[in-house]
Amino acid sequence: MLILILPFCFSSFCAVLNCCEGDILVLLDSSGSVANYEFSRLLLFVTELLGPFSLGRGHVRVALLQVGTEPHLEFSLDVHSSQESLQKALRSVVQLQGDTNTEAALRVTRRLLTKTEDSVPKILLWLTDGVQPGDVDEPMSELKALGVSVLVVSTVHGNFQVLQRVVTPPLESHLYSVDIDNIDIITEDLREAIIKIIRAERLRVVHLTSHSAVLQWRPVLSADSGYYELWYSSIRKANPEIRRTLSGDSSKVELTNLQPETTYTASLHPETNLGLFNTLSVNFTTLPEGSIQPSMISLSDSGPRQIRVSWGPLQPTRVQRYTVEYGTIPSGRVHTVTLHSQKNSTLLTRLEPNTQYLVTVSALHVDGKERAMSVRACTQEALPALADLQLAPGERQEVEELHVAWKAYQEGLKGYWVTWETENFHSSSSKPPVSTVYLPPTSRSTRLTHPAPNSRVCVSPIYSSGRGDGTCCTAKTHTGRLS
């Protein structure tokens, strides 16, 4: 039985932060591929990562879902409203072992994070060793389409191609690959990335037209504790500043009679005797008169050679078609994709790795008018595959043995992930079991014992920025001997 001793107070983080409001679901790999020591380190990491936050409704809610043969909900979002309660629950977590059924766990995740009507930010924090994560691309894409931010922490032997596809950009702050013994070095960076997503002190524009804007903020007052002062004006000096007083229980306001294609600045200040509150500000530009342009473009599913572009809102009664144009910056060839008015996304493929693109989405109105919106997008770096992979029979005659040798690019190399099919001695399944091993970067070969007949052997290089494409070979069997 695994016993954890988790600290209740973390030096400078003893005072919890009242900075944020949002839901965090921790998806913890609890399968048999995760060693007991590794599992305990992941739990300690979660405890320190979340230690500073104020918990409960109106602050940060935390749920823990374990991944095994079947998903196990350790506790849901509304259970813990104090750090003492959360840490006591983390001390009692027991590893499931079993298979890595991440797909089933993601179905539970979707129900947990989307069953409420709360407009607070939602985060899926996936902690995994990355071994055989399963077919997670589609359920992760569905979660991101629903507004869930996906952040991933993986130990160095993870399937980094999969992880890079599922994580919400930017990758540099939302995807971490780290040796389990050094996982504490990413705590502050990951916490800062979480805070940026769920920080409550912000004034947001949630709806925008040619003549109006709807502003929303996290309420910090009540009807009896004070009121809000709101003032806004256009950047044109000739226009006077407008001031409004809003009740303390307000959390949203609509600004009307605005001018088209005009930039405004708005500020909101809580007035109360309860304490000092920061003034919140936001700048926005109204849409052109009769605007038909997409007011939002988002990028997802970024890889070395692909990016998904999505836009909104859909206007099927006003738009004939959408056109997506993309080309490399500064002067690359422009490619065009035409889509009907019911489509609001497309996957751009055959792109160049580690390259910046200008992507423009334009809407052609039924009256012939056209508006467009552009964003910059960057593909991910393509990690090199092995230079060579060779298989040969082992030297020992008394045991089935396979000698595997390879060559790889050395810059940034952290190790190798080797996978092969072994002989099925004890199982009734017709499918041979798969064995895996992580080898250090100094390795250039290894010997595999008892490989399955016609065993498929794959070796993937692991670099500091991710996992390169694997190279595979099949060991041919002739009359009971490998060749």
DSSP for 164-232 reads HHHSPSPHHHHEEE--GGGGGGGHHHHHHHHHHHHB---EEEEEE-SS-EEEEE-----TTTEEEEEEE
Buried b (16+ CB within 10 A) or exposed e, 330-341: eeeeeeeeeeeb
Q: Which strand ranges, in their side-by-side order, compose the sheet holding 242-247?
A: 242-247, 226-234, 263-272, 280-285
Classify domain 387-474 at the CATH topology level: Immunoglobulin-like (2.60.40)
Contacts of 453 (CB under 8 A, 6+ apart): 423, 477
Q: Which residues, in sequence order, are bridge partners of residue 252?
A: 216
Residue with tokens 């001031």: 243
Residue 156 CA: distances (Å) to CA of 180, 308, 411, 413: 8, 27, 16, 11
Both tokens assigned to 228: 């809000």
Low-confidence spans in the chain with pLDDT less than 50: 1-16, 479-481
pLDDT digits (tens, 9 = 90+) for 249-301: 888 899 999 988 889 999 999 898 877 777 888 888 887 776 555 667 888 77
Contacts of 482 (CB under 8 A, 6+ apart): 391, 393, 394, 400, 401, 402, 451, 475, 476
CATH of 22-200, one of 3.40.718.10, 3.40.190.10, 3.30.70.2750, 3.40.50.410: 3.40.50.410
Both tokens assigned to 49: 């990562």
Taking Cα atoms as reference points, which of 445, 444, 448 lies closest to residue 434? 448
Nearest-angstrom CA–CA distance, 394 and 448: 8
Nearest-angstrom CA–CA distance, 169 and 163: 12
pLDDT at residue 11, as a whole number: 31
Domain with CATH 2.60.40.10 in the chain: 203-285, 296-379, 387-474
pLDDT at residue 5, as a whole number: 37
Single-letter residue type at 386 = L
Both tokens assigned to 221: 């007052």
* Residue 88 neighbours by CB distance under 10 Å: 13
pLDDT at residue 433, as a whole number: 75
DSSP letter assigned to residue 248: T
State the pairing for strand pair 242-247/280-285: unpaired
Q: The domain 203-285: what is its CATH number?
A: 2.60.40.10
pTM of the predicted model over 0.85:
no
Largest CA distance in the chain: 93
pLDDT at residue 425, as a whole number: 52
Classify domain 296-379 at the CATH topology level: Immunoglobulin-like (2.60.40)
Domain with CATH 3.40.50.410 in the chain: 22-200
Residue with tokens 């595997």: 404
Residue 362's SS3 state is strand
Residue 280's SS3 state is strand
E-only strand ranges, 68-116: 72-75
Nearest-angstrom CA–CA distance, 353 and 355: 5
Give me the count of residues in the chain: 483
pLDDT at residue 8, as a whole number: 33
